[in-house]
Each structure stands twice: as structure tokens, then as C-alpha cells.
Amino acid sequence: MPIFTRYVLAELLKVFLVALAGMTLFFLLFGVVRLAYYEGLGLKQVLQLIPYVLPDAMRFSVPATILFAACSVFGRLAAANEIIAVKASGITPMILLWPAFVLAFLVSLWAVWLNDVAVSWGYDGATRVVVEAVEEIAYGRLRQQHAYSAKKFSINVADVDGKRLISPTITLEGEGDQPSTTIICEEATLHTDLAAQTLNISCDNCSIQYGELNSEMPHLDRAIPLNEASHKSGGGGSPSYLAMHVIPSERIDQENHIQKLQQQFTAKAAYQMICGDFSQLEGPSWSAAQSELTEAQQRLYRLQMEPSRRWANGFSCLCFVLLGAPLAICMRNSDFLSSFFMCFMPILICYYPLLILGVSKAKAGFFPVCGVWAGNVILAIVGVQFMRRVYRR
């Protein structure tokens, strides 16, 4: 390996790894503390969350730190006239730049994997930790605020004595058009059954109101699924939280589902036309059917877009270096923070809005899935223009 290559690569790795450790720690602490504060988690759950939040923290820190490393190293080389010395020796500047591009390419592949792991394994793991701690969270909220509410039920208490809830009022939401159930009792206890994945509520001396019906019971046990008893829920099959290796089969299943819906609607319309029941063709049942088909089509768009989004997010690392390295050389500023922010500002103003726009439009089916790469392509084109300036100087 040439001495120039070893030198640049060593400097890049040194800055990148140090900056990555610091920035990842910041994002990790921010993510864990925010989740712990919002969910009311204890120290045990916070420690359990760390491995699941780490990939999410790193997918944000890696692109920023590889850009920081490129700006720091090449800005210092240019300020020390080392780039000019290399060119004066008849050596192409690419001998200094290509190690950065190769490193950025490898880091981009790693970032794609991080994006996939963070939204699938990491999100599901963090959700599981929070959901399984729902008993501790509920007791903590009831002691502090005398109230706890989740998606499907709420509890208000007069006081909490150890594990006993004093004079609790429990409201359970009904399914669909069913009325809610209100349980008023002298005392109650909560217990999590991890095997059954339920939060069990044991009530004594209960007064139960279900719609307009009222009844009295000396004891009542109710089991609520943990995912309904917690604020946090899993991805629920959302394409945003599926692993990439699962998405192709999900996309095929979704296409078959859409085809089946279309066949059913076609057969239904043909039957109504044959029977002369034309009024039903514009009835509420067809509005509901159209909504179901639209939702199915939108999920297909999201399944088609999601792999491209993760690849585009990951390869932002390469595009950042394609722009940051030659721009830092052109600036010739030894102050690495100035070089970094001069590179990061156009990225912040241009790249991320384009990415958000491409993702939102691809989700809706207005853009092809390649639209999520628009920001990457523009950064690469601008970076090539700065590369030409480096060669001309």
C-alpha cells in the first residue's frame, strides 16, 4: 500500500472512530433518556434498552462522523499545502482522495445494515422491553399521578398502598360500536403474565357499568393484552419496521391481496349490474371497498419504497464524503469545525428536505421509488464539480 494511502487512511480512521464514539454516545443517551422519561422506566429497563437503541443511535451518527472525518483530514491537508505539494510532484490528487471514497463506500454498506437492524430488531426489542415493564410503569404513574392510561384502558385511584390500588376506577374501551366498561371497586392489584403476554387486573367488591347495564360482583379478574396496556406498540406489520429480507415476500403477498380484492369487486359489480341493482353501485359499501383497496395499494407503495429508502440513507455516507472531501480542499481551512459546518449546511438545507419529499411522494405513489435517491444524486453531482476544481488548481 503506498505511503500516501496509508497516511490518509490512518488519519481518516482515527478521526472517524473517535468522533463516532462521542457522537454515538450522545445520541444513545438522548434516545434512552427520552424513552425512559416518556415511559417512566426504571434502571433495569434502561440497561435493557441500550443494545436495542444503539443501532438507531449509530445510523444517525455514522453519516455525520464520516463527513466530519473527511472535512477534518482534507481541510488540514489543504491548509498545510500538502495537496499542492502532491500535485507539484506530478502525482494526481486522487491518490489522497480514493482511500476516503473506498472507506465511505464500506461505511455506507455498514450504514445500510444499521438502518435495517435499527427499524426491525432494534425497534421490536425496545418495544418488548417497554411492554413487559408495563406493570412497573403503571404502578409508578399511579403512585405519582394517581392515574394511568393506555390505548385501551385507563385507571384512576385514590391512593396506592404497596401493590394495592385503593378505590380504583377502571375504564375499558369497547371494540367497534360496543360501549365502554367502567369498573369501580374498593381495591385492585395488577400483575403481568409474561407467558400469556397479558396484564391481569384483580378487583374486589366491584360495581360494573356496561353501557346502561349495572351489576355488582365480589371479585373480578380481567386480562388485558400487554400491547394494549402499554403506550408503546409494535410495528404492527408496518413496512417501516420490517426487515429487508422479509419485504420481497410481503410485497408479493400484498400484490396477490390487491389482485384478489379487485377480482372480488369486479364480480360484485357485475352481479349488481346483471341484477339491475344500479343504486348499489354508488352506495356506502362501494366507498368502503374503495377505501380498502386504496389502503392496500398505499401499503404496496410503502413496501416498494422502503428498501430504496434504507439504501439511500446508508449511501448518504458516500455522498457526504464525495462532497465534503473536495470542498474541504477548496476551502483550505485548518479549522475543522468551519469546514464541517460549511459542508453540513448545504446537506441540511438540500439533502434532507429532498429525502423527505422523495419518501413522502414515493409512499403516496406519485414518485417512482428511485425518487428517494434524488438528494444523493445531487450531492454526488456537486461533489464531482468540486473535484474538478481540485484538479484544476
CA-closest candidate to residue 321, choices 386, 383, 372: 383
| Greatest C-alpha distance within the chain | 94
Specify whether 98 is located in the same domain as 181: no
Specify whether 125 is located in the same domain as 172: no
Where a domain ends, among 209, 229, 249? 229
CA-closest candidate to residue 185, choices 155, 145, 140, 144: 155
Specify whether 168 is located in the same domain as 107: no
Q: Read off the pLDDT band of 7 (50, 70, 90).
A: confident
Q: Residue type for 8, please? A: V
What are the angstrom distances between the C-alpha of 147 and each of 3, 170, 332? Answer: 67, 10, 60
* Choice among 10-14, 50-54, 77-81, 295-299 with the minimum mean pLDDT: 77-81
Torsions phi, psi for 218 (to 5 deg): -70, -30
Question: What is the pLDDT, as a whole number, of residue 144?
Answer: 83
Specify whether 10 is located in the same domain as 127: yes
Q: What confidence tens digit (pLDDT) does each residue in 199-226 have?
A: 888 888 888 888 778 888 888 888 888 7
229 and 153 Cβ atoms separated by less than 8 Å: yes
Any domain includes 283: no
Q: What confidence tens digit (pLDDT) does each residue in 16-50 have?
A: 999 999 999 999 988 888 877 777 777 888 888 89
Q: What confidence tens digit (pLDDT) does each residue in 256-269 have?
A: 988 888 888 777 77
| pLDDT for 235 beyond 60 | no
Any domain includes 278: no
Number of domains in the chain: 2
Specify whether 94 is located in the same domain as 186: no
Question: What is the pLDDT, as a whole number, of residue 16?
Answer: 93
Specify whether 70 is located in the same domain as 156: no
Q: What is the spatial distance between Cα 332 and Cα 75, in angstroms, rounded to a whole number?
A: 5
Q: What confidence tens digit (pLDDT) does each residue in 365-381 have?
A: 888 888 899 999 999 99
Give this prediction's pTM.
0.82
Give the domain range for residue 210. 151-229
Q: What confidence tens digit (pLDDT) does each residue in 253-306 have?
A: 988 988 888 888 777 777 666 766 656 556 666 677 778 888 888 899 999 999
